[in-house]
Structure 1
Amino acid sequence: MIPVDDLIALVRAYNPQTNEALIRAAYDFGREMHEGQFRRSGEAYFSHPVSVAAILTQQNLDDATIVTALLHDTIEDTKASYNEITTRFGADIADLVDGVTKLTNLQLSSTETKQAENFRKLFMAMSKDLRVILVKLADRLHNMRTIKAMRPEKQVQKARETMDIYAPLAGRMGMQWMREELEDLAFKVLNPEARNSIIRRFVTLRGETGDVIERITGDMRKELDAAGLNAQVLGRAKKPYSIWRKMEEKGQGFSRLSDIYGFRVIAGAEDECYRVLGVIHRRWRSVPGRFKDYISQPKSNGYRSIHTTVSGRDGKRVEVQIRTREMHEVAEAGVAAHWSYRDGEPAENRFAVDPARWIATLSEQFQSEEDHEDFLEAVKLEMYADKVFCFTPKGDVVKLPRGATPIDFAFAIHTRIGSACVGAKVDGMRVPLWTRIKNGQSVEIITAEGQDPQATWLDIATTGKAKTAIRRALREMDRERFIRLGRELARSGFEHVGKKATDKALETAARKLSLPDGDEVLARLGSAQLRVASVVEALYPELVDTPEGEAVRRDRAVIGLEQGQSFNRATCCQPLPGERIVGITWRGRGVVVHAIDCASLSHFDDQPERWVDLHWHSGRHAAIYPVTLDITLANDPGVLGRICTLIGEQKANISDLNFMDRKPDFYRIWVDAELRDAEHLHTLTSALEAEADVAALTRRRTIEESPPGAPGAPREGEAVGL
């Protein structure tokens, strides 16, 4: 464990004015609180917070962040409280420690919905003070460095979480060195064979070619000195995971991969960066399409540098990054450069991005997402994005992720332009909407009034913003369709009890059902999320029909079950009271009831031990058993309304309705009608078949796949128990 004096020395190296007493007090308090606690490796637990603090000193961070690192586990793992830390170290540090604690408690590797919600909380925590995530990233880095002490299954879970969330987040914040180390540590756990193979290849390559890095850096220094440029040249081999990812993306073996070395040239001033570029391109041949100028077009996290790839010795490609010292500091620290210190004062770096503005820009892209899955997709798309720069016809620059299409470009300009897009021109040429935009291209969007987003655009768009806008527009269009259908269903249901489905009645029903407004009631009716009977009952409970005499209870509807057994009606044959039935047992799922003539029963011929002799309880049953009717109707005005009315007149409730096929003269629908028994079904079908507008009518039954899987989820009112 690093002694307190050594830790203070690390901070004093870049901040001679550091509050030594504050750091010493935090060190002593943390060690006291963690006394008697040990890590899985057997080390004293407090060695972990000290190591996290040491990692943060490498980024020249302020005293508050260093103290937070020392205390970051005290609220969660010791008897220390938020109030005690506030009293001892101040509200600022207490809030930072509390923020790290909340991030630690997020289970980011859980289910998709939970993960999306945790991402929301993560961004909320980041928006309050970005130093919280800096401590958390350093915490994760040290945990990954010492991950061998954990159980194998825990190692895999943490490594996957690191690869999916923390590594790309570090990269998005501009801390590329941390991203690379986190990825490599996770790669070591998730695919050790591949990593070891790449390392062996490197050893072999070095034995065959010698120290390539030293030779190329020497060549570059010689050329720069000859041009009178005083610049620092640094070279390194790329990390195993970075090489493996390139091999996967390009489908190439190690021997065919060329750009496995990277070099950085640190120039004295911005104009010298371009002079260095000229010297390198004159000496070595540049590779077409591998040039990026992030000095004239910086990344949103403040990153500035010139990237170029050239053919070096023996035709080997090498990547060269050219930047100034200030740019290099931002490239190493990313957004964290805002808190960096130099000689006891906050470092004045004109390229460091304002963290508040950066996180606000990032968060506003996600805050409009209502759906958990959409939000998660938008976050990951943004986190992993590799930007390209293109131009509007007026010359304005638009940043998009690599692989973006004109659809993404249109929505990046404005949602209204994206929604009305009918075509695009790239560099003056008309192109399909699925065309991939390249760096430096000029894009013009062609719009038309009355155009709406198409569902196929979801497969074309790549940005979270475009996908969100498209989904929202599609949901609104679906909502309008559901409202129209719901209005027809409501009219039929209300007329059945002698009432009218007026706007006022629907608004009143919405209040009673705790829904926003009448349109929401109609939308839910049309999408089968709400039953007409429920709406009518909310307003006129005294008018809802009740059977004469006491109806058979749903949990007593089937006779022949053992005590405690539950049953579900099979969705393939939808048996009704009055029909002969048989049960099939399922381990942990009770009994599934089939009609005796159900074709799916043939799957169980060789399993007689699973068959149960059942029959329906005699007596009057409630109309709660859905049966699907396949109806072909004339495509004339008012026909659907009349059919819905007729079904209601037969005291059957429509629980779902789907349009299966539309033709100019006929359309086919599936109607789920809730019935009492087989006699009720016969009465309803007789009435429907008597209608001139009904061209065909059948009771829809299906055959389960062979062998059948676990029984499907029961519909509302179907799952019952004794």
Structure 2
Amino acid sequence: MNQEASVFLISDLCDLLEEYLEQDQVREIYRAYLFGAEAHEGQHRMSGEPYIYHPIEVARILADMRMDPQTIIAALLHDVIEDTPAVKEQLSSEFGEEVAELVDGVSKLTQIQFESKAEQQAENLRKMMLAMTRDIRVILVKLADRLHNMRTLGVMKPEKKRRIARETLDIYVPIAARLGMNTIRIELEDLCFKSIYPMRYKVLDNALKRARGNRKELVSKIETSIKHRLHQEGFEGEVIGREKHLFSIYQKIRNKVQTFSEVFDVYAFRIIVDNVDACYRVLGIVHNLYKPVPGKFKDYIAIPKANGYQSLHTVLFGPYGVPIEVQIRTREMHTVAEGGIAAHWRYKTGEAAGSTDHVRAREWLRNVLEMQKSAGDSLEFIENIKIDLFPDEVYVFTPQGSIMEMPRGATAVDFAYAVHTDIGNSCVAVKIDRRLAPLRTPLFNGQHVEIITAPNAKPNPAWLNFVITAKARSNIRHFLKNMQQDEAEQLGLRLLDKALSVYGVSFDEVQERRVSRLLNQYGFETPEQLLVDIGLGGRMAQLVARALMPDEEGKLESVAGEPHSQALVIKGTEGMLVNYAKCCHPIPGDPIMGFLSAGRGIVIHTSNCSNVADFRKHPEKWIDVQWEDEIEGEFPVGLRVDVSNQRGVLAMIAAAVADMGANIENVVMDEREGKFVTMAFTLTVRNRTHLAQIMRHLRSSKQVHKLIRS
């Protein structure tokens, strides 16, 4: 009985394939079915069906998309490497290298185990993305595989159903959306909704069925009205009343806090015409028929979405005041909107290479490959990629007049990295609509954006607080990671040389065999790795120095105190691995001490800082530091000023500070007893002497009653 059903299924698939493939191609696909059926002989799914049912259904989904023969064969054989004795070489000799690579690409996506679910999911997505960059058909087979698995999820336990559905919603649905495959996306979303929230799904489904009967008359009236007006104007467009799918209705109810009736009372129609010119003319006709809602028109034909989607969208005031959503598109746009990248698949004629959505998908995948190279691990990669998988676009203009597509909320720095990585790394300012603006400024539709660069500029770690695109985030992290490694190595060498100065040697003068022995002991491959670890605070330079100089017994006792060793000189312009504590704001001229912090390098505090008492419990992490004699640059410092509560007093203080060549970074005001106001300033000064001059100048004012450094 089961075998007969299987034969019926494959014959059904062959009938479907004969609609668009050659006879010899269909015969080759049938031969692949026989190979797969033999390989899966004796295997059954949890439902009790022969396992071969699943590959046939996956192939049927892809056949509905009109995919090429190699993809259909790969779908029929996608589990043979993983679940049967068959190997890649056997597939290659039987069906060619292309099919073998596709099957191998799909199989490799699920063959690795991890300690945590998050890491496993992240690594699986990472592998999927990399497989896509080699051949995008891998993900099409995987999406069809996941769709059939979701359709047959009913036999599994509720907790497993929820887990698989959640993974599908997190990974596969965004990928389907990014590739423009809306038909698959919508079905996956509804199936996930049904598995994660079965009761909510049931309630919403019943409500939809009840409401549907009451809408038929109005939908029919609007549809007839639009068709009649189109016919009057000489257009024979197809008008379809469409319904929002359940998951979309649920999302709107949940996210916009709307009731079911408010969401469902929006009537949606799709008008399909023959060409682009007709789209715009039909737009004018429907705007003439029903009044448009201001600000609700979107032209995705002139500026397509990232996944190639094109349509005109408008919202109208319909009869009885009901809102009507209308989408206007050509037949070709409709095909792309439903099938996405699969809609233009023509490997045998080579048309795919030139189609707009295919080019866009390739461009996106190139960016994915670039992100993969600079990401530290799978979790960082998935964090970056998920940002790109949920775009809501804005469109801005380059100085040359080209249109750049950016996610909503993207900043000028995101734009700079979108233009080119080198532009992003060296940007220092931005002009938005020909006016200077902060780099963190969010971009909006239609703005003209010009990035200003400088040859020696570097990315700022603070940019990570506001950039939102994956490309910007991954490139900034990659640059800073490399910069931190370089700084850590230089700082580690300075610290180790300082510790070795007790023995009268430098690191370069230590015998190579001693260094090699220590590297083996610590598990490092190169001296540079050891220096980076010291610079990042992972290892104490004094202890490493002891380990390198075991024969110098006479001097071992002096290492901890180092009474005659030189202090580490702080220049004031160090980067990421010499930090100045925000609790005490040390400035040149202050007595200071250094505290080694794991991963952060050296944190500089003033000697009388209130937090130093805690650090005294860990003397092994102190480091003797001193300021260099000549230091250029500005340092933040806190100042608390009690002034008379008079009009213009803040302007007076600001002017006095400016007269002394300092800058106010921040000010917080706290009214006290009506007569006085306490102002907490953060100033930037050159050194302790400069601060003293500012304080003297402020004290000379009658309005200033008390002045202390905070």
TM-score (norm 2): 0.72
2:463 to 437, 446, 457: 457
Compared CA separation, residues 505 and 192, structure 1 to 2 (3 A): farther
Q: Distance in 2 between matches of 1:415 and 1:525?
A: 31
Compared CA separation, residues 655 and 187, structure 1 to 2 (3 A): closer
SS of 2:226's partner is helix
Q: Please tell me whether residue 313 in structure 1 is matched to residue 319 in structure 2.
A: yes
Aligned to 2:335: 329
Structure 2 residue identity aligned to 1:101: S
The alignment of Structure 1 onto Structure 2 pairs a total of residues equal to 587
Aligned to 2:45: 39
SS of 2:295's partner is strand
Compared CA separation, residues 672 and 226, structure 1 to 2 (3 A): farther
Once the two structures are superposed, the pairs formed by residues 102-121 of structure 1 within 5 Å of their partners are 102-105=108-111, 110-121=116-127
Check conservation: 2:125, 2:171, Cα contact below 8 A. Answer: no
SS of 1:468's partner is helix
Aligned to 1:199: 205
Q: Please tell me whether residue 76 in structure 1 is matched to residue 82 in structure 2.
A: yes
1:268 to 262, 274, 277: 274
Q: Please tell me whether residue 384 in structure 1 is matched to residue 390 in structure 2.
A: yes
Structure 2 residue identity aligned to 1:526: G
Aligned to 2:560: none
Aligned to 1:101: 107
Structure 2 residue identity aligned to 1:392: T
Q: Distance in 2 between matches of 1:509 and 1:313?
A: 85
Compared CA separation, residues 261 and 382, structure 1 to 2 (3 A): farther
Structure 1 residue identity aligned to 2:539: L
Check conservation: 2:385, 2:470, Cα contact below 8 A. Answer: yes
Structure 1 residue identity aligned to 2:97: A
SS of 2:410's partner is coil
Aligned to 1:353: 358
SS of 1:48's partner is helix
Once the two structures are superposed, the pairs formed by residues 168-179 of structure 1 within 5 Å of their partners are 168-179=174-185
Q: Distance in 2 between matches of 1:417 and 1:148?
A: 52
Structure 1 residue identity aligned to 2:241: G
Q: Distance in 2 between matches of 1:383 and 1:191?
A: 24
Instruction: Report the Cα offset of residue 97 of structure 1.
Output: 1.5
Compared CA separation, residues 211 and 12, structure 1 to 2 (3 A): farther
SS of 1:8's partner is helix
Structure 2 residue identity aligned to 1:257: V
1:98-124: CA deviations, max 9, x gaps?
221112335699544444333332122
Aligned to 2:68: 62
2:56 to 50, 57, 69: 50
Aligned to 2:160: 154
1:185 to 172, 179, 191: 191
Q: Distance in 1 between matches of 2:115 and 2:272?
A: 39
Check conservation: 2:249, 2:264, Cα contact below 8 A. Answer: no
Compared CA separation, residues 671 and 475, structure 1 to 2 (3 A): farther
Check conservation: 1:33, 1:79, Cα contact below 8 A. Answer: yes
1:460-517: CA deviations, max 9, x gaps?
2211122223334544665566456534431332123332234998999599637687
Once the two structures are superposed, the pairs formed by residues 411-560 of structure 1 within 5 Å of their partners are 411-419=417-425, 424-428=430-434, 434-445=440-451, 453-475=459-481, 478=484, 482=488, 485-502=491-508, 509=515, 513=519, 520-532=529-541, 535-536=544-545, 539-543=548-552
Aligned to 2:27: 21
State the percentage of identical aligned residues.
40
Check conservation: 1:633, 1:668, Cα contact below 8 A. Answer: no
Check conservation: 1:15, 1:345, Cα contact below 8 A. Answer: no
Aligned to 1:88: 94
Instruction: Report the Cα offset of residue 229 of structure 1.
Output: 1.6
Q: Distance in 1 between matches of 2:24 and 2:234?
A: 39
Check conservation: 1:335, 1:352, Cα contact below 8 A. Answer: yes
Aligned to 2:227: 221
1:560-615: CA deviations, max 9, x gaps?
xxxxxxxxxxxxxxxxxxxxxxxxxxxxxxxxxxxxxxxxxxxxxxxxxxxxxxxx
The runs of 5 or more residues in structure 1 that have no matched partner are 549-630, 645-652, 676-680, 689-722
Q: Please tell me whether residue 7 in structure 1 is matched to residue 13 in structure 2.
A: yes
Check conservation: 1:52, 1:138, Cα contact below 8 A. Answer: yes
Q: Please tell me whether residue 405 in structure 1 is matched to residue 411 in structure 2.
A: yes
Compared CA separation, residues 404 and 249, structure 1 to 2 (3 A): farther
The runs of 5 or more residues in structure 2 that have no matched partner are 558-582, 625-710
SS of 1:263's partner is strand
Instruction: Report the Cα offset of residue 663 of structure 1.
Output: 5.2
Compared CA separation, residues 304 and 177, structure 1 to 2 (3 A): same
Instruction: Report the Cα offset of residue 25 of structure 1.
Output: 1.4
Instruction: Report the Cα offset of residue 345 of structure 1.
Output: 6.8
Aligned to 2:296: 290
Check conservation: 1:330, 1:351, Cα contact below 8 A. Answer: no
Check conservation: 1:107, 1:115, Cα contact below 8 A. Answer: no
Structure 2 residue identity aligned to 1:27: Y
Aligned to 2:653: none
Instruction: Report the Cα offset of residue 28 of structure 1.
Output: 1.8
1:131-159: CA deviations, max 9, x gaps?
11111110100000110111222111110
Structure 2 residue identity aligned to 1:92: E
Compared CA separation, residues 662 and 312, structure 1 to 2 (3 A): farther
Instruction: Report the Cα offset of residue 383 of structure 1.
Output: 1.0
Compared CA separation, residues 110 and 655, structure 1 to 2 (3 A): closer
Structure 2 residue identity aligned to 1:292: K
Compared CA separation, residues 263 and 432, structure 1 to 2 (3 A): farther
Instruction: Report the Cα offset of residue 424 of structure 1.
Output: 4.6
Aligned to 1:130: 136
Q: Distance in 2 between matches of 1:634 and 1:219?
A: 76
Instruction: Report the Cα offset of residue 256 of structure 1.
Output: 2.8
1:672-709: CA deviations, max 9, x gaps?
8889xxxxx9xx99x99xxxxxxxxxxxxxxxxxxxxx
SS of 1:288's partner is coil
Q: Distance in 2 between matches of 1:500 and 1:637?
A: 29
Structure 2 residue identity aligned to 1:88: E
Compared CA separation, residues 243 and 106, structure 1 to 2 (3 A): farther
Once the two structures are superposed, the pairs formed by residues 607-626 of structure 1 within 5 Å of their partners are none
RMSD between aligned residues: 4.1
Compared CA separation, residues 293 and 152, structure 1 to 2 (3 A): same
SS of 1:257's partner is helix
Instruction: Report the Cα offset of residue 57 of structure 1.
Output: 0.9
Check conservation: 2:591, 2:606, Cα contact below 8 A. Answer: no
Compared CA separation, residues 661 and 525, structure 1 to 2 (3 A): closer
Structure 2 residue identity aligned to 1:374: E
Q: Distance in 2 between matches of 1:503 and 1:232?
A: 84
Once the two structures are superposed, the pairs formed by residues 606-685 of structure 1 within 5 Å of their partners are 662=605
Structure 1 residue identity aligned to 2:246: P
Compared CA separation, residues 110 and 131, structure 1 to 2 (3 A): farther
Compared CA separation, residues 18 and 654, structure 1 to 2 (3 A): closer
Q: Distance in 1 between matches of 2:509 and 2:200?
A: 66
Q: Distance in 2 between matches of 1:162 and 1:668?
A: 49
Instruction: Report the Cα offset of residue 181 of structure 1.
Output: 0.9
Compared CA separation, residues 197 and 361, structure 1 to 2 (3 A): same
Between 345-354 and 70-79, the greater mean CA deviation after superposition: 345-354
Structure 2 residue identity aligned to 1:177: T
Q: Distance in 1 between matches of 2:554 and 2:30?
A: 78
